[in-house]
C-alpha cells in the first residue's frame, strides 16, 4: 500500500503573533515553526498502516524552502521519501491553491491512500483535503478517528456532532482527513534522524502561478471591550430585566 501524507509547516502555538505591515498576514520572518498538529496524527496513522500492511509512505508539503524542516522531521519519524512543492507564494495561499499544487505532485504517484490533517492550525478552514480529493478524482471521508484496511477496501469511523459516530466503507484509492488524537504520536529516534538525511526529497516547481479563490483584506488583533449596564429598580423588576438582558441582548440563556 502506497500512502501519501500531506503535511504543513505552521508557526508554533507558543509564538507571540504580530500582524505584518500590510495587515494581511502575520510577521513570520523571525518566527519559530513546527509541523501542523493534525498532520502529525495523519503521518502517524500512515506509519501504523504501513507497519500492519506493508508499503511506502510519501510525505508531501507545499511552501518555501523552510518547509524542509518539517519534511525532514516526517522522514525521521519513518516516512520513506518526500515531495516538496517549493514556492514562497504557497506559504500564505488558500486551500484551493495548496490543493491544486499538491494534486499535481501526487497524481503521478499512483497512491492507494491520501491522508491529511483535519485542518491547519493557522487558517483552519478544513478544506484542503476535501478539495484535494476532488482534484484527484477520488472519494473522501472527513473527521476520521479509526481506519481499517480489509481486502483492499477501507472501513473508517467518522466523528459526528452530538457524540455520534458513523462507519463508512469505501474503495481505494481514497482520501481521509484525520482527527487529532486518533493515535499516540511517536518521536523521532537518533537512528531515524540520521537515516532521514539520506532519504529522497523530490522538489517540484509549480507549473503555473498560484491562483487563490479568496483574499484576506485585513488581519487585526481582537479588541477587548468592557461595558457595564446598571439595572435599577426593585428586586423583582431588576431580576426580570436581568433575565431579559441575558436572554435577548447577551443571548447566553
Higher pLDDT, 24 or 84: 84
171: buried, middle or exposed (CB in 10 Å: 19+, 13-18, 0-12)?
A: exposed
Place of cell 506559504: 91
Whether residues 144 and 247 fall in one domain: no
Model confidence pLDDT, tens digit, residues 114-148:
999 999 988 888 999 999 999 999 999 999 999 99
Whether residues 175 and 247 fall in one domain: no
User: Beta strand pairing status for 33-35 and 9-11?
Assistant: antiparallel
The mean pLDDT of 13-27, rounded to a whole number, is 82
Q: State how many domains the chain has.
A: 2
Evaluate whether residue 84 is within a structural domain. Answer: yes
CATH code where residue 87 lies: 3.40.50.620
Whether residues 126 and 182 fall in one domain: yes
Whether residues 184 and 242 fall in one domain: no
Whether residues 200 and 228 fall in one domain: no
With residue 100 as reference, give the H or E element that holds it. Answer: helix 95-106
Whether residues 24 and 134 fall in one domain: yes
Q: Which domain holds residue 66?
A: 2-204
* Torsion angle, alpha carbons of 35, 40, 46, 50, to 10: 80
Whether residues 24 and 90 fall in one domain: yes
pTM: 0.83
The mean pLDDT of 60-82, rounded to a whole number, is 95
With residue 11 as reference, give the H or E element that holds it. Answer: strand 9-11
Is residue 209 over pLDDT 70?
no
Evaluate whether residue 107 is within a structural domain. Answer: yes
Higher pLDDT, 188 or 30: 188
The mean pLDDT of 193-202, rounded to a whole number, is 93
The dihedral built from the CA positions of residue 77, 82, 88 and 94, taken in this order, carries a sign that is negative
Phi-psi region of 162 (alpha: psi -120 to 50; beta: other; left: phi over 0): left
What is the predicted pLDDT for the residue at 216?
Answer: 83
Integer Cα distance of 130 and 117 in angstroms: 11
Amino acid at each position: 500500500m502506497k500512502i501519501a501524507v500531506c503535511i504543513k509547516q505552521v508557526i508554533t502555538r507558543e509564538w507571540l503573533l504580530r500582524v505584518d505591515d500590510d495587515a494581511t498576514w502575520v510577521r513570520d520572518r523571525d518566527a519559530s515553526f513546527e509541523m501542523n498538529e493534525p498532520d502529525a496524527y495523519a503521518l502517524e496513522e500512515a506509519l501504523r498502516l504501513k507497519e500492519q500492511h506493508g508499503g511506502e509512505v510519501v510525505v508531501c508539503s507545499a511552501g518555501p524552502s523552510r518547509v524542509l524542516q518539517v519534511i525532514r522531521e516526517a522522514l525521521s519519524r519513518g516516512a520513506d521519501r518526500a515531495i516538496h512543492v517549493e514556492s514562497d507564494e504557497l506559504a500564505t495561499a488558500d486551500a484551493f491553491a495548496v490543493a491544486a499544487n499538491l494534486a499535481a505532485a501526487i497524481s503521478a504517484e499512483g497512491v492507494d491512500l491520501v491522508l491529511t490533517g483535519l485542518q491547519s492550525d493557522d487558517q483552519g478552514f478544513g478544506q484542503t483535503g476535501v478539495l484535494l480529493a476532488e482534484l484527484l478524482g477520488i472519494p473522501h471521508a472527513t473527521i476520521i478517528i479509526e481506519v481499517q484496511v480489509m481486502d483492499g477496501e477501507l472501513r473508517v469511523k467518522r466523528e459526528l456532532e452530538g457524540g455520534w459516530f458513523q462507519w463508512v466503507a469505501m474503495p481505494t484509492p481514497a482520501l481521509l482527513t484525520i482527527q487529532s488524537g486518533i493515535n499516540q504520536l511517536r518521536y523521532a529516534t537518533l537512528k531515524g534522524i540520521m537515516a532521514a538525511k539520506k532519504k529522497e526529497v523530490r522538489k517540484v516547481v509549480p507549473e503555473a502561478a498560484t491562483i487563490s479563490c479568496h483574499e484576506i483584506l485585513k488581519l487585526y488583533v481582537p479588541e477587548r471591550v468592557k461595558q457595564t449596564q446598571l439595572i435599577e429598580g426593585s428586586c423583582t423588576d431588576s431580576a426580570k430585566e436581568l433575565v431579559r438582558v441575558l436572554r435577548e441582548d447577551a443571548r447566553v440563556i
